[in-house]
Amino acid sequence: MNSRRSWLVFYIGSFAYLSAVLQRTSLGIAGVSATERFGGSAAVLSSLAVVQLIVYAAAQIPVGVMVDRFGPRTLMLGGTALMVVGQLTLAFSPTIAVAIVGRILVGAGDAAIFISMIRLISSWFSGRIVPLLSQWMGNIGQLGQVLSAIPLAWLLHIGGWTQAFVAAASVAVIALIVLLIFVRDRPPDAHELPRSQSWGDALTQLRISFRRPGTQLGFWSHYVTQSSGTVFTLLWGFPFMVYGLGYEPARAAGMLTILVGAGLVFGPVLGILTARHPLRRSNIVLGIVTAIGIAWSVVLLWPGTPPVAVIVGLLIVLGIGGPGSLIGFDFARTFNPQRSLGSANGVVNVGGFTASFTIMFLMGLVLDMLNNLRVAGGAASDLYSLDSFKLAFAVQYVIIGIGVVFLLRARSKTRSQLSRDEGIEVAPVWVALSRAWKRRNGRA
């Protein structure tokens, strides 16, 4: 554990996750090109991203069960291979129907990478470094978004649709090769419990994990923190900046890298806070989702076009939501045994992507509805007007607000279980701060 070989596995696995994020976000910078290539309404365009996320979310629990059954290496190899095939299908797709098949394959392959990597970290490392490594892995992976926002966007502009997506697929081919050569499920001397020996045993572990309040708390933590940034980067952020705000496509693509930069800066900070204050993780989550709500309120209520500084502030806050969502997996790790961790991580990872594809699809419907009303009133069609985008993005308040309610409910159950099973009482945060202040003054 925590050996030089462990670090090699960590870096190779993180590169595979970087490749997966590149494949996942490649459509985000190609939204305008997809409209030109395939035509169609906002709802049709959103279906390209939505179907990918539906497949991703639907595959999480089966993949989690298979990680417990067959090990993370097998799942990472199979998932990366599927992404290669999916991106090549998208690269040469002549119609929207073929493109959707490609995105289905990308979504299915992508589904296997992240939770397998979380399992690898838990198998190769131990101690307080584990939540930090989860944040570092997430940050390394998000560099894939930088690759899609800058070099891939440039290649799309210079070489066209097919060349750009073939290039993206080539990165996944490299990841497939290095995974095959260097990555193994666990150290040779590891003393882990044996894997599930049958599908029945694996499904039993899944049911038990799903019933644990800590797993449910992880699900809703991921749901509320990850979704807004995913919606922005995977589909609607680029058209919003290009058509709604009037930014040049190159500038809009570059702006998306701000989310990655924010994650790189704040991810390690969140990892340290999570490791040092494990009983306050839900407060960190609620603080992040509150900041996201405030940032969106400023943008959506701003009269006319918001200034660049306001948009930059929004992107920074959305970027914090990415590493913030990894706290959900820390809940899964601490409230589940190692042998069922794949299933628990699969449950958690469904959260943010369920919220994401729901928001994406509803936004497409709202944009189409507003444009149809505009045309019916005798005005010219303006599908991606700023006013329409502001109303469409407001959908988030309903979907994420529901998640906050269930998060608070799951937190209450988890704290009750801690009190009952371990005798740990978690006081409200203001009480804890008051006690800390008194202790500090007493020492002074």
Within 8 A by CB and 6+ apart from 33, the residues are: 156, 161
Pairwise CA distance, residues 386 & 306, whole Å: 10
Which secondary structure element, helix H or strand E, spans residue 430, and what is its range? helix 429-443
**Residue 375: φ, ψ to 5°:** -70, -40
Q: Residue 47 — pLDDT band, cuts 50, 70, 90?
A: confident
Pairwise CA distance, residues 49 & 45, whole Å: 8
Is 218 within 8 Å of 278 (Cβ atoms)? no
Pairwise CA distance, residues 360 & 213, whole Å: 28
Q: Residue 423 — pLDDT band, cuts 50, 70, 90?
A: low
Pairwise CA distance, residues 122 & 266, whole Å: 22
Pairwise CA distance, residues 219 & 224, whole Å: 9
Tokens of 71: 């090990």
Residue showing tokens 């839900």? 282
Q: Residue 440 — pLDDT band, cuts 50, 70, 90?
A: low
Over residues 296-322, the mean pLDDT reads 95
pLDDT exceeds 90 at position 196: no
Pairwise CA distance, residues 338 & 341, whole Å: 5
Over residues 338-346, the mean pLDDT reads 79
Helices 213-231 and 281-301, interaxial angle, to 10°? 30
pLDDT exceeds 80 at position 431: no
Q: Could you tell me which of 225, 223, 220 has the C-alpha nearest to residue 323?
A: 225
Mean of pLDDT over the chain: 87
Pairwise CA distance, residues 156 & 196, whole Å: 45
Chain centroid, CA 366 distance in Å: 24
pLDDT exceeds 60 at position 190: yes
Residue-wise pLDDT for 114-147, tens only, equals 889 988 998 898 877 887 888 889 888 888 888 8
Q: Which position has the higher pLDDT, 84 or 33?
A: 84
Query: Residue 226: what pLDDT?
Result: 93
Chain centroid, CA 207 distance in Å: 24
Q: Residue 232 — pLDDT band, cuts 50, 70, 90?
A: very high
DSSP-derived letter for residue 336 is S
Q: What is the CATH number of domain 4-183+206-443?
A: 1.20.1250.20
DSSP secondary structure letters along 294-358: HHHHHHHHSSSSPPHHHHHHHHHHHHHHHHHHTHHHHHHHHTS-GGGHHHHHHHHHHHHHHHHHH
Q: Which position has the higher pLDDT, 311 or 206?
A: 311
DSSP-derived letter for residue 377 is T
